[in-house]
Structure 1
Amino acid sequence: MAARSEVPQLPRYFIQRDYSMGTVVQFDKNPPPELSGKVSQEAQHVLSDTVEHINTIFEEAEALDGAAYLEGCLACLTLCTYYVWPCVRTKYEKAMHNLAVYIENQNSTVLRQHGLRLVHPMERGLRVIEVVLLQS
């Protein structure tokens, strides 16, 4: 049996979820302290701005507005089958799609230049945002 080639693991750091406002999904705006000295101040600032925008997307997704109430009413009227209609995406699903597009865009246009990559927080159970350091 041939030996498997070892793929080097890239360093990973985590931005923790901030529970200071209860169970609202938001993440600490400060970059992980372990990144100090490993990336530039500009990269840390860009990362902080990106996390702030991610928090804004979650805030909008969880806001109770007319669309949220309408979805709730439609769910009740249709015995919750509204959520399985293939042509309907909920407000939260749309926000998560927008978040995925935003993270992909940030990774490809801004963060890669600073040697960073974010992993979508949904892949980590909304507990953390994983930051991968692309260069040592």
Structure 2
Amino acid sequence: MVSDNAGTERLISLNECKKVFIQRDYSKGLTVKFCADFPLEFEGKIDSNTWTSFINQLNELYLVADSVTPASIVETVVGFLSCYTSRLCFRPKWEEALERIEEMIQEHNQEVFVPRCLHVRNPIEKGFRVIEITLLDEPLPPPAPVINNTQPVLQPR
């Protein structure tokens, strides 16, 4: 919900709000890790320690999900030998980790972010490239009017 100048509140979709994108950190290779820098757009909305703690917790969960363990090796070998039909009997470690991450993000949204007019989307929705944070109290400005110009932009020679 957003209040307008008249003091009335209306529902807006997440697509109508300003967004901040947290880039993936490739400094340690291709492991899924996101930059923990505090965005300036969050000033006055959330404490930098709270944000850094959230990002560090998220990065730690991805690190655990990506780690190679004896169990993950056995899981891969059994999957390969069974033409991956073993996945019908038990869920892979990676999928379980993604569910834990989804639950953690939802929990933080409900308890921490939404009360402070922020909404964090799961990075899987953007292919692990960025974390999209919607600023719920900052709607996008209306689009600029399109000028109908009949002359072509490029002139042939």
After TM superposition, the score normalised by the length of structure 1 is 0.84
> Which amino acid in the other structure matches residue 117 of structure 1?
H
Higher helix share: 1
Quote the RMSD (CA, aligned, Å): 1.8
User: Max radius of gyration: which structure?
Assistant: 2
Matches within 5 A, 1:72-91: 72-83=76-87, 85=88, 87-91=89-93
Cα distance change of structure 1 residues 91 and 10 upon mapping to structure 2, 3 Å threshold: same
Please identify runs of 4+ aligned residues in structure 1 that moved more than 3 A.
none
Match of 1:67 among 50, 71, 74: 71
Aligned match of 1:97: 99
After TM superposition, the score normalised by the length of structure 2 is 0.73
Deviations 1:34-69 (A, max 9, x none): x154534x1x33222111111011000000012211
Return the alpha-carbon distance in structure 2 between the equivalents of residues 90 and 100 of structure 1: 16
1:28 correspondence with 2:35: yes
Return the alpha-carbon distance in structure 1 between the equivalents of residues 68 and 122 of structure 2: 24
1:120 correspondence with 2:96: no
Return the alpha-carbon distance in structure 2 between the equivalents of residues 28 and 61 of structure 1: 18
* Gap regions ≥5 residues in structure 1: 1-6
- State, as a whole percentage, how many aligned pairs show the same letter: 28
Aligned match of 2:134: 132
* Gap regions ≥5 residues in structure 2: 1-11, 139-157
Deviates more, 1:45-54 or 1:17-26: 45-54
How many residue pairs get matched? 126
SS in 2 for 1:15: strand
Match of 2:45 among 39, 42, 64: 39
